[in-house]
Amino acid sequence: MGNSLFDQLNKSGLVDKNKAKQAKKEKHRQAKKHKGRQTKPLDKSKLRAQQVQTEKAQRDRELNQQRKQAAEKKAIAAQIKQLIEMNRIEADETESNAEIAFNFVDGKNVQRFYVTEKLQEQLIRGHLVIVKLESSYNLVPAGIAEKIILR
């Protein structure tokens, strides 16, 4: 009983050493193959974890991009506000002698802005432009209006 199956088959002449080695290798390969299949559920969980991590990284990138765009918009709005406030024709210059109603279109509405004769002439020639800051209208030089449009 101490003899293995291989020894018994070898003694009877049914199997030689080369065939035995091949059979042993094949058995080893099969064992490895089955072992690999058993680890696949772990691989699936790792794969899912990587997928979740990749999706999270993508969401984070998109969120950062949105935040960056919002910050850029805010900075541009602040620059435009500063340009208008620094270069507008002051209200006391326009309202003290402002007796001429200058009509203009804002979206779908026709608005009225009272100006002096000198300012009306500059508006007509295109030297001055009416801009809207928050809920009020202001006069600024045409060069400043072009800078605002570029932003």
Q: What secondary structure, in 3-state letters, does the chain show? A: CCCCHHHHHHHHCCCCHHHHHHHHHHHHHHHHHHHHHHHHHHHHHHHHHHHHHHHHHHHHHHHHHHHHHHHHHHHHHHHHHHHHHHHCCCHHHHHCCCCEEEEEEECCEEEEEEECHHHHHHHHHCCEEEEEECCEEEEEEHHHHHHHHHC
Same domain, 62 and 119: no
Percent of the chain predicted with pLDDT > 90: 36
pLDDT tens for 82-128 read: 999 999 887 555 556 778 888 999 889 999 888 888 888 999 999 99
Same domain, 10 and 83: yes
More confident residue, 14 or 93: 14
Residue 58: band (very low, low, confident or very high) from pLDDT cuts 50, 70, 90:
very high
Same domain, 83 and 93: no
Same domain, 46 and 111: no
Domain boundary among 87, 108, 127: 87
Same domain, 2 and 67: yes
**Phi, psi dihedral angles at 13 (to 5 degrees):** 85, 10
Domain boundary among 57, 87, 117: 87
Task: Please tell me the distance from the alpha carbon of residue 123 to that of residue 13, in angstroms, as a whole number.
Answer: 115
Same domain, 37 and 94: no
Same domain, 33 and 17: yes
> Domain tally for the chain?
2
CA nearest neighbour of 101 among 116, 91, 89: 116
Same domain, 103 and 78: no
Range of the domain at 132: 89-150
